[in-house]
Amino acid sequence: MHLTPASIDSVSATLEYLHRAVPKPVTHMLAGADGLLRETGCYAPMAVTIRDGRARADAATLDREGYQLCNAPSAMRSFEAREEIQGVYYREMEELARSVCGASRAIVFDHLVRRRTSGVNSPFGARDGHRPSTATRVHCDFTATSARRRLVLEMETRGIERVRRFAIVNLWRTTRMPILDAPLAVCDTRTVDPADLVAADIVYPNRTGEVFEVLYNPAHAWTYFHGMQFDEVLLFKQYDSAIDMPCHTPHAAFTHPATPTDTPPRESIEIRCLLIFD
């Protein structure tokens, strides 16, 4: 069976949710000697309906649903060289984020090139000695605490004295088109109750970060964009200090039930960008 861009308006799939909120979940991002990740949270796969955003009559927007699909050609032809990503792609994504969001300044501070690894459970995509795989657990990259920490770090590094409003967005693109394997699903922020979001620690060898993991709520409205092409970028909000704006957009990779078995593993790049508004 081969997929076409308009073949399926919605699919039934499963997403991995946090099962209970206490105690605070902790995940160690590097596996132990046995190859297993250490984590304290309890998780469960939940059945959801994921709609194809291309079938919508009105396009989703960053300031309403918390995500937006953009046409965004790039001069990049390979994402193997870190220096080229930082020198060329960062500038492209800063300009895109600034123009879409109306920010006065955009600062890319991180990127991750992913390639899905078959048969590996990768809740956040980490695996020792391998390129990061797809992240299968429903989560948001930043809490208010970790977003503020990132802001302070960038202000100190760049000599920024005062910020009225700031936001963090993720910009996600396929590097091997089109995306048929392990597409990314994003959740309409208007359907997320604040009680659904649970702060969790992500432990690295040299630091500990904080993200939101997500409790299942049948009200959650999930969307993906079928067959994303190289010239498309999905922007989604990870934090916004403005109280009247979408703030946290849950997201996760999922297994599309109609993906052909010979489909190449998904390869993608994601950019995390700090936005500053005057």
Domain containing residue 144: CATH number: 2.60.120
Asked if residue 1 is part of any domain, the answer here is no
Q: Residue 212, Cα to own-chain centre: how many angstroms?
A: 12
Asked if residue 207 is part of any domain, the answer here is yes
Asked if residue 230 is part of any domain, the answer here is yes
Sign (positive/negative) of CA torsion 13, 8, 247, 173?
Answer: positive
Q: How many residues does the chain have?
A: 278
Q: Residue 124, Cα to own-chain centre: how many angstroms?
A: 10
- Name the domain count of the chain: 1
Asked if residue 5 is part of any domain, the answer here is no
pLDDT at 48: 98
Asked if residue 67 is part of any domain, the answer here is yes
Asked if residue 3 is part of any domain, the answer here is no
**What DSSP assignment string belongs to 49-72?**
EEEEGGG-SS---TTTTSEEEEE-
Q: Phi, psi (5° rounding) for residue 110? A: -165, 150
Asked if residue 159 is part of any domain, the answer here is yes
pLDDT at 272: 98
Asked if residue 131 is part of any domain, the answer here is yes
- pLDDT tens, N- to C-terminus, the chain (278 residues): 344 444 468 999 999 999 988 899 998 877 655 556 688 899 999 999 999 999 988 999 999 999 999 999 999 989 999 999 999 999 999 999 999 999 999 999 999 998 887 655 566 655 554 556 788 899 999 999 999 999 999 999 999 999 999 999 999 999 987 888 899 999 999 999 999 999 999 988 888 999 999 999 999 999 999 999 999 999 999 999 999 999 999 999 999 998 888 888 889 999 999 999 98
pLDDT at 115: 85
Full residue range of the structural domain in which residue 220 is found: 10-277
- Torsion angle of C-alpha atoms 149, 121, 134, 222, degrees rounded to 10: -90
